[in-house]
Amino acid sequence: MLFIGETIEATTTLARALGVSASESVPQQPPTSSWSWNWRDTLDLWRAGLVDGPPVERVVVCTWPATITPTPVIGLSPEEWRAQVEWPLALWFDALAAAAQRCADGGSIVAVIELPSAIDACGQGAVVTVAEGLLTLVRSLAAREGGRQVRVNAVTTELFTAPAVLTGSPPPLASFPGRVDIEVAGAVQMLGSPDASGLTGAVLRATGGRA
């Protein structure tokens, strides 16, 4: 299994729970004060190095940011928009594209995405924008790679966006928002297993049933 993700405590915990045999860290975000599209070169170089490796049966992609600060989209400055939307989307795109190139025929790719439930999404516009775009990308990759029997699925979480005080009805399972090494890892393992051989383009919400 190849794991592609940020080098933070949560992703390290997930990789350990999955028994990852190989991992690749992602590039650090460029400084917002001097951004231009020249940072595309950084991602191109990183992606080229990532795809230059042997095929693997399973790939997990999890480029969670180190921190998530609730901010209404309308209040984002251009620099914050780049940092919270443009850069994450570009990074995810390259990571998933590289995962598809590294995944062997008949293999499995799982993207682990932070996506708050609609009831918890207030102030999380940037996170939702990125996540919804990624779900479309997962479905697109699933259609593209299906011809060689590669399955592409997603697990969504609320590990970083669950509110301290819940609005509305509580989720059915009291374990919400769950743990990365139990609920999230379990969902990833399920999607990557032969038992899920008929699932592709699917999304599992590992959120204890939060609506």
pLDDT score of 31 = 63
- The pLDDT of 46-51, averaged and rounded, is 93
39 vs 111: which has the higher pLDDT: 111
pLDDT score, position 32:
61
pLDDT tens figures, 163-196: 999 999 899 999 999 999 999 999 999 999 999 9
- Residue 87 inside a domain? The answer is yes
In a domain, 55, yes or no: yes
In this structure, of 68-82, 100-114, 184-198, the range with the lowest mean pLDDT score is 68-82
User: What total number of domains does the chain contain?
Assistant: 1
Q: What is the CATH number of the domain that holds 62?
A: 3.40.50.720
Give residue 36's domain range.
2-205
Band (37; pLDDT cuts 50, 70, 90): low
The DSSP secondary-structure symbol of 84 reads I
Q: Is residue 210 part of a domain?
A: no
Q: Inter-axis angle of helices 185-192 and 9-18, to 10 degrees?
A: 40
What is d(CA 35, CA 79) in angstroms, rounded to the nearest whole number?
8
pLDDT of amino acid 29: 77
Check if the beta carbon of residue 8 is closer than 8 Å to that of residue 26. Answer: no
pTM, two decimal places: 0.94
pLDDT at residue 162, as a whole number = 94
What span, in angstroms and rounded, lies between the C-alpha atoms of 205 and 120? 14
Q: Is residue 40 part of a domain?
A: yes
Residue 176 within a domain: yes
What is the average pLDDT across 199-206? Answer: 97
211 found inside a domain: no
Of 187, 99, 113, give the one whose Cα is nearest residue 151. 99
Give residue 68's pLDDT: 82
